[in-house]
Amino acid sequence: MPISKNFTSILSQDWKINFLQCYPNGFLKYTDLCNILQLTAGTHAELGGISFSDMQVHNQAWVLSKMRVEIKKLPKWNDTITVKTWINSLENSRSIRCLEMYLGDEKIVGCETFWVVFNTNSRRPENLELPNAHFEKFPNDFATENRFSRIDSTNCDVLVATKKVVLSDLDIVNHANSVKYLEWCLDTIFFEIIEKKSIKTLEMNYLKEISLNEIIKISEFKNENSITFSISKEEKNAFALQLFL
């Protein structure tokens, strides 16, 4: 698609929280928080002519490699929030995108994401084929207090779940959607952590794609202020998640 006449290098998009997106306590689910952030990023890419449909002309897609979400407070049912997004860097096959969530004038969430261009035939990273110079880059503007990092999940030695990947886990790129990894892990933790809105930071590393019918193992390591998860397949680590409480 051509670049939209409404395209700007910084996008702000409003979202109204509905009841399907909320936990029993009435506050936005962490998974739906991440969905909203990624959908806003997708809208910005579409307006700028680098969406999934545009990239499929070259058998390419954006896939998420790292994501850090810092949460001051969660919005609740019927709140209208604003998500602001911009590109921090985009070069060759890699891009860092920043996002902020506001409730009125109050910033309540900051997010930093790291994306890789992925060939959907070879299933390998490669340089972006589409022009992107019209996106102004903001290399000195960040949305989080800390940058994303490489998570050490080698101490995750307590097996908490085993799962077979099913059709509803897949997305348009024909692998498990990135938010599903988070959902699988959060489904294993105590509800009190969710009910009390105790999670202050989510950090995720995506290491290998997970496909239909694969068997995965979810393991964890807990200490006083954090929980670390590892998702593995065929004894190899495919995903790491760290929750700071």
pLDDT digits (tens, 9 = 90+) for 133-152: 999 999 999 999 999 999 99
Q: Is the pLDDT of residue 224 over 90?
A: no
CB distance 76 to 29 below 8 Å: no
Whether domain 1-148 has CATH 2.40.110.20: no
**Where along the chain do its domains lie?**
1-148, 149-245
Query: What confidence score (pLDDT) does residue 197 get?
Result: 93
pLDDT > 70: percent of the chain:
100
Residue 29 CA to residue 119 CA, distance in Å, equals 31
Is the confidence at residue 2, as pLDDT, over 90?
A: no
CATH topology of domain 149-245: Thiol Ester Dehydrase; Chain A (3.10.129)
pLDDT at 1 over 70: no
The answer to whether domain 1-148 and domain 149-245 are alike in fold is yes
Residue position matching structure tokens 């790491």: 240
Neighbours of 149 (CB within 10 A): 11
Amino acid present at 135: F
pLDDT in tens, 56-114: 999 999 999 999 999 999 999 999 999 999 999 999 999 999 999 999 999 999 999 99
pLDDT digits (tens, 9 = 90+) for 117-135: 999 999 999 999 999 999 9
Q: In 3-state terms, what secondary structure has residue 52?
A: helix
Euclidean distance between CA atoms 176 and 232, whole angstroms: 13
What Cα–Cα distance (Å) separates residue 37 from each residue in 11, 81, 129, 162, 212? 12, 11, 24, 28, 25
pTM (predicted TM-score): 0.95
Strands 60-71, 201-206: pairing kind? antiparallel
